[in-house]
Amino acid sequence: MSKFESSIKQIPYSQQAVYAMLSDLGNIEKVRDRIPEDKIRDFRFDRDTIAVTAPPVGELRLRIVERDEPKCIKFATEQSPIPFDLWIQVLPVTDATSKMKLTIKAELNPFIKGMVQGPLKEGVEKIADALAAIRYE
């Protein structure tokens, strides 16, 4: 099992506010304008799933499989060239601030790992940066 973690991101919003926004994928509508359309196409979502087409990867579809309020949201792939699980962990720092870390775990053979290790690490960091920039109000 290969594991890729983002750096820890400081969030200027409470743990509960961050969890409430991220645990309902319908809230993506509030930040849809920040999604780079040159990198992601056919963006679809509902409360529990998110699907995108990301050239050259193809279609990715993730579903929330577990909510551990207010500290963790777990996703699993429903469609992906490489099946993986994604965790978003949110922990309180103060009553008004929190910190976040993303983790991806995937079963990768050594050959595939060598090819996707860099892009997966970069991808998990970019997703964490994007989530840290959201206004959780």
| Confidence at residue 64, expressed as pLDDT on a 0 to 100 scale | 98
Indicate the pairing of strand 41-45 with strand 49-54. Answer: antiparallel
Q: What is the pLDDT of the chain when averaged over all its residues? A: 90
- The full 3-state SS of 69-117, as one line of letters, equals CCCEEEEEEEECCCCEEEEEEEEECCCCCEEEEEEEEECCCHHHHHHHH
* Lowest-confidence region among 24-38, 77-91, 122-136: 24-38
| Confidence at residue 39, expressed as pLDDT on a 0 to 100 scale | 63
What is the model's pTM?
A: 0.89
Position 8 pLDDT exceeds 80: yes
| Confidence at residue 34, expressed as pLDDT on a 0 to 100 scale | 66
- Across the range 123-132, mean pLDDT stands at 90
- Across the range 78-93, mean pLDDT stands at 94
Fold observed for domain 2-24+64-132: Alpha-D-Glucose-1,6-Bisphosphate; Chain A, domain 4 (3.30.530)
